[in-house]
Amino acid sequence: MTAPGRPSYPHVHQINVSDGGVPKKPIREAKLTERGIDGDRQRNLNVHGGPDRAVCLYSLELLEQLQREGHPIHAGSSGENLTLAGVEWEIMQPGVRLSIGPAVQLEVMSYTVPCSHNAPWFQDGDYQRISQKKHPGWSRVYAKVLHEGLVRSGDAVTVTKA
């Protein structure tokens, strides 16, 4: 069931950027390029960024479930660039492709390994709560930009299984 005021179709709930680190703050629109989101910067380029890790994606519904578990997490706090709503997260795995808005196309390349900078958003600092290895299906994912373009909050998201 769709929450009041939320579109009933899969969509971009929030776009998040920072000057390095977390939390990332919301913006209304952004240009996605093969390097990532304009205006966003990663603190550690050894584990973040690059063409295969250009954009980090996460699920609004998983964030809401984590909140119900008592974790003080919110959209953008775990470092995701795009918080997506209405997407079947269990199919978000390497090889899946997404079309966002009129132009942007992404391909999921890998699961995102959580780091200790995410600890403040979890009870008892248990940032491994979003680890694919420890909790399959709860991980953020990294995506490669196949086709650049402008993304806005509310843009429709279409997922194509691998």
Are residues 12 and 104 in contact, defined by beta-carbon separation less than 8 angstroms? no
- pLDDT value at residue 118: 85
Q: What is the DSSP string of the chain?
A: -PPTTS-SS-EEEEEEE-SSSSPPEEESEEEEETTEETT---S-TTTS-SGGGSEEEEEHHHHHHHHHTT----TTTT--SEEEES--GGG--TT-EEEETTTEEEEEEEEPPP-GGGGGGSGGG-GGGG-TTTSTT---EEEEEEE-EEEETT-BEEEE--
pLDDT of residue 40: 83
Class of domain 11-160: mainly beta
pLDDT at 128: 93
pLDDT at residue 42, as a whole number: 64
- Radius of gyration of the chain from its Cα atoms, rounded to whole angstroms: 14
pLDDT, position 46: 53
Enumerate the domain spans of the chain.
Answer: 11-160
CA atoms within 13 A on the CB side of 96: 21
Per-residue confidence (pLDDT) for residue 80, from 0 to 100: 94
* Amino acid, res. 66: L
pLDDT at 7: 74
pLDDT means over runs of 10, the chain (162 residues)? 72 93 92 90 56 92 97 94 96 97 96 89 92 95 97 97 77
